Amino acid sequence: MFAFPQPHEEQMFDCPVVPVTDSPEDMATMLAILFDSSSRYKNDILQFREVSTMLRLGSKYQVEHVRSEAIRRLKICFPDDLSLYATRHTRYRTIEQIHVEAYCLNAPISLIHEDCISVVNFARSFDLPTLLPTALYACAQLPVATLLQGYTGTDGAVYKLSEPDILRCFRSQRLLRDLLFLNYRWILNGPSETCIQRSECRYHMTADMAHLWDTLHFHHDPLIDSGRLWADLPNFGAGRYCRVCSAQFARAYDSQVAGIDWVQLRSYFNLPQPTETQEGQ
């Protein structure tokens, strides 16, 4: 940034002055990254606002290694491989095992759920389309009020999706809900062929099916794994299915989730397939 030609030659204490329009917080973070000799900005978990600064100022001042490091971290949190996408809406254990505010599991960025709004906007502004499917999926799980009105960050700024992306999220919710119903299709088949307490299992499954019928239309998170069965199905959660049915149903659920593919998720958000150049960013 200091190599850029400057319009005037101001000086202070015999040092050249470079006028900038960036916030003091952004500038402090950027200078710390450039002059920090430790490996903190390579290896440590960074706050989302730090990664935001790295991407925005790294792009603006063409500091390629800072920009690339921000993109590398964002791609780990919002990957283009669904099997690597680990959030509280894909890995049930994250709901109970990590800090309530942390959205991604084992990620190099400490971010909260609402930060996915900024990630979508970054993907749009900095031409990073591979971030979009998973970031939009995360946005689709936000409360309606947050989607419509945006999120006020700790800096007082309001972060909001564009109107077309808000519409994408709302339209996707019905399609994602259909996928969730498909994940539960196995319950219609009744107890396992090798069930060891057929009449009891059938009775409890019928009750759970009625419960699903009443509650499932409030959810559109089909990527979450079979850990949810204990919460979604009262009788399954209470251990009232036999061990054969319990194990078979958890496998059937996970198998259905694993069948949701990348192309399918893109199509639900009406996103084009990225070009080879974009995929290689």
Instruction: Considering the complex, state which of residue 131 and residue 242 has its C-beta at the smaller distance from Zn ion.
Output: 242
Listed in sequence order, the residues at least 6 apart from 82 whose beta carbon sits closer than 8 Å to its beta carbon are 90, 134, 223, 260, 261, 262, 265
Shortest Cβ 244–Zn ion spacing (Å): 5
Nearer to Zn ion, 60 or 198 (CB): 198
Least gap, CB of 183 to Zn ion (angstroms)? 20
Is position 191 an interface residue for Zn ion (rule: CB under 5 A)? yes
- Residue closer to Zn ion (CB basis): 135 or 201: 201
Q: Which two tokens stand for residue 252?
A: 């059937």
Q: Of the two residues 169 and 245, which places its CB atom closer to Zn ion in the complex?
A: 245
Choose, by CB under 5 A, the member of 86, 102, 123, 242 that binds Zn ion: 242
Q: How far is the CB of 262 from Zn ion (least distance, A)?
A: 35
Residue 4: partners with Cβ closer than 8 Å, 6 or more residues away: 61
**How many chain residues bind Zn ion (CB under 5 A)?**
5
Torsions phi, psi of 15, nearest 5? -110, 145
Going by the DSSP 8-state scheme, the letter that residue 273 receives in this structure is P
245 in contact with Zn ion (CB under 5 A): yes
CA angle 98, 100, 171 (to 5 degrees): 110
Give the residue with the Cβ less far from Zn ion, 124 or 198: 198
Q: How far is the CB of 177 from Zn ion (least distance, A)?
A: 28
Cβ 93 to Zn ion shortest distance, Å: 25
Shortest Cβ 232–Zn ion spacing (Å): 18
Closest distance between Zn ion and the C-beta of residue 25, in Å?
58
- Sole window of 20-28, 88-96, 183-191, 211-219 interacting with Zn ion (rule: CB under 5 A): 183-191
Q: Tell me, residue by residue from 100 to 139, as one string, x for binding to Zn ion by CB under 5 A and - for no binding.
A: ----------------------------------------
- Provide CB contacts within 8 A for 205, sequence distance 6+: 187, 190, 191, 235, 241, 245
Residue 86 three-state SS: coil
Q: Is 252 in the site for Zn ion (CB under 5 A)?
A: no
| R_g of the chain computed on alpha carbons | 23
Alpha-carbon span 272 to 263, nearest angstrom = 9
CB-based contacts of 138: which residues, under 8 Å, 6+ apart?
A: 78, 87, 89, 103, 113, 116, 119
> Is there binding between residue 249 and Zn ion (CB under 5 A)?
no
Compare residues 72 and 243 and give the one whose CB is closer to Zn ion. 243
Indicate the pairing of strand 109-110 with strand 158-159.
unpaired
Contact 254, 207 (CB under 8 A): no
Q: Residue 201 interacts with Zn ion (CB under 5 A)?
A: yes
Residue ranges binding Zn ion (CB under 5 A): 191, 195, 201, 242, 245
